[in-house]
Amino acid sequence: MKLHILGICGTFMGGVAALARELGHAVDGSDQSVYPPMSTQLEQLGITLNSGYDPAFIAPDTDVVVVGNALSRGNAAVEFVLDEKLAYTSGAEWLREHVLPGRRTLAVAGTHGKTTTTSILAYMLEAAGRAPGFLVGGVPENFGVSARLGDGVDFVVEADEYDTAFFDKRSKFVHYRPTVAILNNLEFDHADIFPDLAAIQRQFHHLVRIVPGNGRLIVNGEDAALAEVLAMGCWTPVERFALEGEAEWTARLLEADGTRFTVVHRGRDIGDLHWGLVGRHNVMNALAALAAANAVGVDVASILPAMADFVSVKRRLENLGVAGGVTVYDDFAHHPTAIRTTLEGLRARVGDARIVVAMEPRSNSMRLGAHSDQIAPSLDGADVTVFLHRPELAWDAGKVVGALRGQGETVPDVDALVSRLRELVRPGDHLVFMSNGGFEGAPRRTLASLADL
């Protein structure tokens, strides 16, 4: 089969491309924005990438066009597919039809932490000798690829609540029909497609409805919005994880930054986990993954030592290096809660050292201003914040800057951002770039610019 994938450099669609190639299909694709890490992975797999959505990129012998959810009516390639009556499908539907049959699917859903938790769970199953397949919305460092088929029965998938495609407005995760589902947390996001939190809760309940009675729901016991979802109806055994309050899975922090903690299951100490990830949120991610691994029969105590070698996903507070005495990180955080928890974790690690944040408000919700009132409080952990305030930003970043606890300012473009950061930072600083896009290479450009300080 020959596939052309529209939106191939998206983290999910790039994973679909990798799986299709591993199955022996011929794959090429198009995308408006071609940037690492997905472009690098696809090029290494020998998959041809085309920049832009010219219909000419879709070869006449293409059997099916797989359409990413970033494309809509009016896109030249989409109109060509419809006019020529080409066979087309969504990435989620293709995954369900061609990869998931015969597998035991473990799905990781939630507003935050999906990519990290999916990577942790896949790594735990690997450490247990399960040889799982997986599709992660990023590139887990321990595996080096965002997706693989695996030799075992288990398949771990990052389960996104965003809609499936222009022709299928259901959340992607309803396609996966998981045996085990993690509900990591739930907040309002994706303001471009959901009017309010209740609309997202309905989608999460659609996921709850399809988890079988002999499966398992792993649920954040601290999240009131998820409790409301379960109250709509639940037909599957539930296990909860929490650091505060009662839950089947809990932890006692042995280090304030979350790098070492004791895992507790139903009141019994399982063992200590020591790893390189920081922050309370990552302890919660680990508990969720441990509960899911346990649900499919893994002796979780036996795999805790292996977590010392776990390395997080690229662009999750990824340390790019040190230049001019400044440590530079690349981070995907783009929701106020994720921004806050990431900075809290970093602060616990670096103590009183200065934290400088360079932020691109790029997600649809960010650009629409859905989170504008929450941004300044989420940045309390930063000493200095520089916003990339592009002309198309729909809200007043100056108002946010004025509400910051620390120093804040805006710049109009990436060139100005790199230049200003070079002036602002000093030896001993920790500089964090936050964006869910390519940021025009700003993190590595800045790292290079600091080399001669």
Q: How far apart are CA 385 and CA 236, in angstroms?
A: 45
| Domain 100-309: assigned CATH number | 3.40.1190.10
Phi and psi at residue 115, to the nearest 5°: -65, -45
Q: Using alpha carbons, select from 363, 265, 285 the residue that is nearest to residue 108.
A: 285
Residues 226 and 204 sit within 8 Å (Cβ to Cβ): yes
Which pLDDT value is given to residue 91? 97
In the CATH scheme, what is the homologous superfamily, with its name and number, of domain 2-93? NAD(P)-binding Rossmann-like Domain (3.40.50.720)
- Asked if the bond preceding 377 is cis, omega within 30° of 0, the reply is no
For the chain, list residues with pLDDT below 70. 35, 190-191, 314, 334, 362-372, 392, 394-395, 453
Residue ranges of domains in the chain: 2-93, 100-309, 318-449
Q: How many other CB atoms are found less than 10 A from the CB of residue 400?
A: 24
Handedness of CA 348, 353, 317, 323 (dihedral sign): negative
Which pLDDT value is given to residue 189? 74
Which pLDDT value is given to residue 341? 81
Interstrand relation of 318-323 and 249-253 (parallel, antiparallel or unpaired): unpaired
Q: Using alpha carbons, select from 18, 6, 93 the residue that is nearest to residue 53.
A: 6
| Domain 318-449: assigned CATH number | 3.90.190.20
Which pLDDT value is given to residue 368? 53
Interstrand relation of 88-90 and 238-241 (parallel, antiparallel or unpaired): unpaired
Q: Using alpha carbons, select from 41, 22, 252 the residue that is nearest to residue 139.
A: 41
Which pLDDT value is given to residue 306? 97
Q: How far apart are CA 319 and CA 431, in angstroms?
A: 10
Q: Using alpha carbons, select from 258, 253, 252, 204 the residue that is nearest to residue 231.
A: 204
Which pLDDT value is given to residue 378? 86
| Burial of 196 per CB tally in 10 Å (0-12, 13-18, 19+) | exposed
Q: How far apart are CA 295 and CA 107, in angstroms?
A: 13
Handedness of CA 7, 362, 201, 297 (dihedral sign): positive
